[in-house]
Structure 1
C-alpha cells in the first residue's frame, strides 16, 4: 500500500489524464477498496462490479480530490462506500437483512474471519490512531458509526438493528463522526 503522499500524487496525475498513474493508483488501492466493497455487499460478483464502477468514477472525478479535505485513501474508500450503497439500494429485494430478533453481538459475527466491524475497520490499514479514537466513543456511537460506514447499513436499518428510534440513531452517527473528527484532528 502506498503512503498518503504517493496516493495524492497518483490522484493528481490521474486527474491530468495519466493512464500509467491511474494503473499504479489501482494497484496501490484496489485491494483495500475491494475488501470494503466485499464487506458491505457480501457478494463477490457485486463487489467486483462495484470495484469496476468505482475506478471508472475515480478516473472521471480524480480532479475533485482535495488533500486539505482528507487523506486520499479516505476519499477513495468514500467513493467505494457510496457505490456499494447505491448498488444495495438498486438491488434491495435481493439483499437479505438479519432477522429482527437477532441480538447485537451477532451483528458483528457475519464476517468469515470472525472479526467484528471495529477490528475489520482498522485491519491491514495500520491506523492505530483511528482504533484509539474509536475506543474513546460510547458503545452506541461506535457501533452505529461502524455499522453505517463499514457494513453499509442505512439509518433505518440501524434503527431496527439497534432497536432505537431513528432520530437517536442519526444523533449517534452524527456525534460519533464529530468526535472521531475531533480526535483525529488532535
Structure 2
C-alpha cells in the first residue's frame, strides 16, 4: 500500500482513463496512489484485515473492469472508487453473515473524513460540495424507479443484468432507463453550470 495522501483528481482521472484503455502501468499508479486510503476505508467498515483486503481486491477488479464507464461529471474519481470499495465491503458483510448495524449518519461522516484531502484548499472543498449538491439535486429530479435503477448500476456497481434481476424488470427496460437517466443528469448538470 502506498502514500496515504491522494493525488489531485485530475491525475486520478488520467490514470482511470489509462485503465479504461487497459493500460496496466496507469492502473498500477492509480492503485499505488489510492490503495492505502481505500484499504483503511474498507477496514473501518469490516473491522477485520483479511476481509478488508478481500474487499479492496474485489474493488480494484471492479475499477479495472469498469474504468471505461467512469463519468467525471457525475463523481470525483476518489468518490467513485470509494463507492465501489464500500459496496464490495457491504457485499462481504452480507456474505459473511455479519449483521453489524451501521449508523448511516456516523458512516457518512466517516466517509467525508476519509475522503477529505489535507492539501485541498477551501475553494477546492467548496467546489466539491457544490458538485455534490448539484448531483444530489439532479438525482432527486429523476423518477423514483429510474433513480433506483441508476443507483444500483453506478453506486452499487451492479451489471445491467443484475439490476434487471433485482428489480424484476426486462433487461431492455433497464438499459433504456439508465441511458435516459444519464442523459437527464447530464442536461441537468449542464444547466446548473450555466447559472
The TM-score bracket by the shorter chain reads: 0.5 to 0.7
1:75 alignment counterpart:
80
SS in 1 for 2:73: helix
Identify unmatched segments of 5+ residues in structure 1: 99-103, 109-115, 134-184
Map residues 32-47 of structure 1 onto 2, 5 A cutoff.
Answer: 32-47=37-52
Tell me the distance in 2 between the aligned counterparts of 1:87 and 1:5: 31
Which residue of the other structure, out of 18, 23, 39, is the alignment partner of 2:28? Answer: 23
Closer/same/farther in 2, CA of residues 60 and 119 from structure 1, 3 Å limit: closer
1:106-132 per-position Cα deviation (integer Å, ceiling 9, x unaligned)? x97xxxxxxx973673255336648xx
CA RMSD of aligned residues (A): 3.0
1:116-173 per-position Cα deviation (integer Å, ceiling 9, x unaligned)? 973673255336648xx7xxxxxxxxxxxxxxxxxxxxxxxxxxxxxxxxxxxxxxxx
Tell me the distance in 2 between the aligned counterparts of 1:119 and 1:88: 18
2:144 alignment counterpart:
none
Closer/same/farther in 2, CA of residues 69 and 119 from structure 1, 3 Å limit: closer
2:66 alignment counterpart:
61
Identify unmatched segments of 5+ residues in structure 2: 1-5, 130-192
1:97 alignment counterpart:
100
Tell me the distance in 1 between the aligned counterparts of 2:71 and 2:18: 13
Tell me the distance in 2 between the aligned counterparts of 1:120 and 1:61: 22
Which residue of the other structure, out of 9, 14, 23, is the alignment partner of 1:9? Answer: 14
Tell me how far 1:2 sits from its aligned partner.
1.1
Q: Which runs of 4+ in 1 moved over 2 A?
A: 95-98, 116-121, 123-130
1:121 alignment counterpart:
112
Closer/same/farther in 2, CA of residues 68 and 96 from structure 1, 3 Å limit: closer
Closer/same/farther in 2, CA of residues 24 and 60 from structure 1, 3 Å limit: same
SS in 2 for 1:125: coil
Structure-1-length-normalised TM-score: 0.55
